[in-house]
Structure 1
């Protein structure tokens, strides 16, 4: 490894000029070769050296990446199905084993960054099965493909320059592989986070997020703290809700003190419900399904991934690793299949709501629109779409 890469290994940012300050001049789409040449020029202006520039010059489009980006069908599952599919008994057992195996590293991470070990372990397990499968996509091609595509270029163009910088410094090889969306290593971080949040957890003077579990643990802790993690505070607690209450206030759009939820009849399913001036009551499958109080730390999960179903699963997995029982699924009303959900989204769009892409996924925009329509129609406004609502529209 080159000597100047030691800057990263000391835990400092590698560049004085952020990659986001560049990567603005190459328009998305169009001829890929011309676009790539423009990206090389911007990377050079950002201070990337020849090794990184040469690697960037070899990038190519990967059609499979675009296919994956357009078809994230797993997020059409409801929370209960998704969580029970991802949190197997084997994953629980391995997670508990990892907590013991790397207890000293987790303690160091908690001491330096304040992040609970089970939170890091939950992400580690869900992202890569504790490093067992980290993806086999060529990372350079994946990020170049997504940066050239016009769907989210503002996210991936800076990542492409950061990856070129990592390659130039010898931190990662030019043929490094990872997830289809460009994440690298056991906890799946994007190149810019590798650069700025990477930490040496095993003391070997290198940051190897693909092969070193201690490096991955410390990097994840640093990353989560940078997103606003509050030390020694809860993130999610399962609760029981009354049969009737003001459902419109549930969800991420409304924050109330825990004392207010208690006053409305919300109680912990087990243990206690610590007070907090800010909290959300989450009922991902409606008023008759599972229910959770989300604390301010839950927002950090949403910074890691914006899918409520995924982050709620990750946060719940962390509580299980900490000793919480399996959630009570309750008796939720049947939800919509993907075809029905698309029909609902089209109806909501026709009514003037912005639900984003018609994709059959119950995202934040669709939930908000469902809540508003339920209230308008005199239904319980719990943001859980049903056939009854679809028919009413």
Structure 2
């Protein structure tokens, strides 16, 4: 049963007439209370909800310290994927087989996909985060880096509280406000929360069926194509036009096959399906073909390395072999990557924040410069590219 659907508009209504972020924290909270009243929440509910809220400096420190994403794919995936996580994931697949059968029937989301998210987000529910969720959301909304993301989540949490599914003093989760076994933000819970165990509530922290069903519903709402693959390891020929590779460029499966792309095991998807070739560490490293469902992963998390690792881990949980790491060229250090980003930005490319992380914008810009300079345009920055720039 999907809950809260008629209530979503309430959390999105009413334009904001006061400060979006910053200023004294108590005054900021007063502004949130005024906005909540304008949205139709009663005074007693508003007062009780906001009474325990506090600014949390640990949240801001966590927001600014995401160094793990600087690791390249091979290091990152080996860091996250252990034999214990694989064994436990397969055990969970057996334990909740009825739930996964229902998910695959109703949403067409394969069990490996959800198991991978469950493992990476909370170690199968073992650690769901110990940040007070209301404090985290309010702190991040007050901070002026991304208030447009976090402010609406506060009112979604208020709606959950109104219906007995959020405790402002005791609900805890990740530093960025995600809650439960698969880490969903309050607004996502409002829009996609499923009562998977039939108790009349969506309890993502304590009910695996609720969490898994809600995660599947969210993926479906983000555009997951039922019953289709998402990622597959491939062999690529040395003669491939590397400038055609990357998650932003697609050809049909048939076209890739004509160029010599071959699956490492099994068969490629149907010829007419669109697909991209992903070379996370360049032409000499591991290679994957990514199908349309792979793009949905970026709606869940925008880190290229995290997304690729999660998609690959889903395959592993369903029996795929360990990828062939091959022998990629050495990449750049964090300091070198920042310098590369500065040089690319100076040339007019949008690489986002100068953070030393090889994200989608930096990859696209690096590939364009590789092609311009006559280097193999595989979007894997090396010292050769940095020196030429």
Q: Aligned equivalents of 1:160 and 1:48: distance in 2? A: 13
Q: Aligned equivalents of 1:48 and 1:94: distance in 2? A: 43
Corresponding residue for residue 201 of structure 1: 196
Q: Aligned equivalents of 2:134 and 2:80: distance in 1? A: 28
Corresponding residue for residue 104 of structure 2: 110
Show structure 1 runs of 5+ residues with no match: 1-8
Of residues 15, 20, 24, the one that matches 1:27 is: 20
Of residues 61, 77, 85, the one that matches 1:67 is: 61
Show structure 2 runs of 5+ residues with no match: none
Corresponding residue for residue 39 of structure 1: 32
How far residue 284 of structure 1 moved from its aligned partner, in angstroms, is 0.8
Corresponding residue for residue 4 of structure 1: none
Q: Aligned equivalents of 1:94 and 1:171: distance in 2? A: 29
Of residues 241, 244, 262, the one that matches 1:246 is: 241
> Secondary structure at 1:105's aligned position in 2?
helix
Q: Aligned equivalents of 1:349 and 1:299: distance in 2? A: 25
Q: Aligned equivalents of 2:68 and 2:46: distance in 1? A: 35
Report which stretch shifted further, 70-79 or 41-50: 41-50
Q: Aligned equivalents of 1:183 and 1:201: distance in 2? A: 19
> Secondary structure at 1:242's aligned position in 2?
coil
Classify 1:57/1:44 alpha carbon distance in 2 versus 1 (closer, same or farther; 3 Å): farther
Corresponding residue for residue 226 of structure 1: 221
> Secondary structure at 2:232's aligned position in 1?
strand
Deviations 1:218-266 (A, max 9, x none): 1111111111111111110100111122111111221110111111111
Deviations 1:174-194 (A, max 9, x none): 220000000000000000111
Whether the 8 Å CA contact 2:125–2:205 is kept in 1: the answer is yes
Corresponding residue for residue 303 of structure 1: 299
How far residue 47 of structure 1 moved from its aligned partner, in angstroms, is 2.6
Whether the 8 Å CA contact 1:239–1:291 is kept in 2: the answer is yes
Whether the 8 Å CA contact 1:182–1:190 is kept in 2: the answer is yes
TM-score normalised by L of structure 1: 0.95
Matches within 5 A, 1:360-371: 360-371=356-367
1:330 maps to 2:326: yes
How far residue 57 of structure 1 moved from its aligned partner, in angstroms, is 4.5
Q: Aligned equivalents of 1:53 and 1:297: distance in 2? A: 43
How far residue 20 of structure 1 moved from its aligned partner, in angstroms, is 3.3
1:191 maps to 2:186: yes
User: What is the aligned length?
Assistant: 385
Whether the 8 Å CA contact 2:11–2:159 is kept in 1: the answer is no
> Secondary structure at 1:165's aligned position in 2?
helix
How far residue 11 of structure 1 moved from its aligned partner, in angstroms, is 2.5
> Secondary structure at 2:5's aligned position in 1?
coil
> Secondary structure at 2:321's aligned position in 1?
coil
RMSD between superposed Cα atoms in Å = 1.4
Q: Aligned equivalents of 2:359 and 2:388: distance in 1? A: 21
Of residues 47, 50, 54, the one that matches 1:56 is: 50
Corresponding residue for residue 80 of structure 1: 74
How far residue 58 of structure 1 moved from its aligned partner, in angstroms, is 3.5
Matches within 5 A, 1:112-131: 112-131=106-125
Corresponding residue for residue 376 of structure 1: 372
TM-score normalised by L of structure 2: 0.96
How far residue 33 of structure 1 moved from its aligned partner, in angstroms, is 1.6
